[in-house]
Amino acid sequence: MKAAIIGVGVMGSAIASRLLDVGVQLQVFDPVPGKAEPLVERGATAAASPGEATAGAEFVITSLNNANTVEQAVFGEEGIALAANPDKVLIDMSSIDPRRTAGMAARLLEQTGMGWVDAPLSGGAPAALAGTLTLMIGGDEQHVQHALPLLDYLSRNRTHMGPSGAGQTVKLINQILCANYFMAVTEAVRFAEDNGVDATRIPAALAGGRADSRILQEYMAKMARRDFTPTGRIDNMLKDLETIEVASVTQLPVTDRIAELHRMLVTVGLGASDSAEYIKLFDIMPS
């Protein structure tokens, strides 16, 4: 199996590592020089452009930060479209706007015959490395079926939600829930600390109850210990919350307020920080 990955940041490199582990022949490209070098040392081949990476691959994964970057990688100079054909499928694992996804998918199919599957993910880099991602999938059925042999290596739970853009819509729903959970856990940690309770013990105390969640189990003790080991970026969540603000027909008062809190964190320089650093919100909010 031959695949290409365009964008090898935290998530892209984890996806690439997993595919190398299972024996996929991999070409990688990242616009930042040298970023792909650790993957090359593990057996991947570096490509000089997205188009060059696509030329030797059946599956092309994009893992990029926003819709503009995805569009440039696909349709820009030396982009994926230059080497596209109906025998290949693009799997976009970025988290971007659903409507732009649908438009780009239609354009790529019309111009080249190459299918587009939007497959945004949940579970982060640890799940990618383990091959246990949750994927929310959009696209034509034939293109989704084409992509499944590769997605089998990366995911444990995947659901085809509908046409192009449907996967991205469900990803935004995932982010509404996650952003709310993160803020709830942040407030709970502070409330525990203010009242003399060891917040690191709360996940075990609440395990299996209605308040339990993976975010509670993974992040409450991490926040309480002020363990800011990178696992996810605050500015990536803000990017998705701002996409939700644009895409939403109805006002979402709780999510809108949480987006404002994220903007506050990013404004003071915490955008690139780990999600556990939500706890620093109390250091910057007016008393």
237: pLDDT strictly greater than 70:
yes
Does residue 227 share a domain with residue 137?
Answer: no
Domain with 225 in it: 169-284
* DSSP collapsed to 3 states, 138-205: ECCHHHHHHHHHHHHHHEEEEEEEECCCHHHHHHHHHHHHHHHHHHHHHHHHHHHHHCCCCHHHHHHH
Does residue 206 share a domain with residue 138?
Answer: no
171 carries an active-site annotation:
yes
Digit-coded pLDDT (tens) for 25-66? 999 999 898 999 999 999 999 999 999 999 999 999 999 989
The pLDDT value recorded for residue 76 is 97
The pLDDT value recorded for residue 285 is 84
215: pLDDT strictly greater than 80:
yes
Portion of the chain with pLDDT greater than 70, in percent: 100
Mean pLDDT of 121-148: 96
The pLDDT value recorded for residue 33 is 85
Q: Which CATH number covers residue 188? A: 1.10.1040.10
The pLDDT value recorded for residue 54 is 98
Does residue 83 share a domain with residue 33?
Answer: yes
pTM for the full model?
A: 0.91
Q: Where is the domain boundary, 162, 178, 196?
A: 162
SS3 of residue 207 by DSSP:
coil
Does residue 34 share a domain with residue 68?
Answer: yes
The pLDDT value recorded for residue 287 is 66
How large is the angle between the packed helices 234-247 and 166-194, nearest 10 degrees?
Answer: 120
Q: Where is the domain boundary, 106, 135, 162?
A: 162
Question: DSSP letters of 24-44?
Answer: -EEEEE-SSTTTTHHHHHTT-
Single out the catalytic residue among 2, 35, 88, 171. Answer: 171
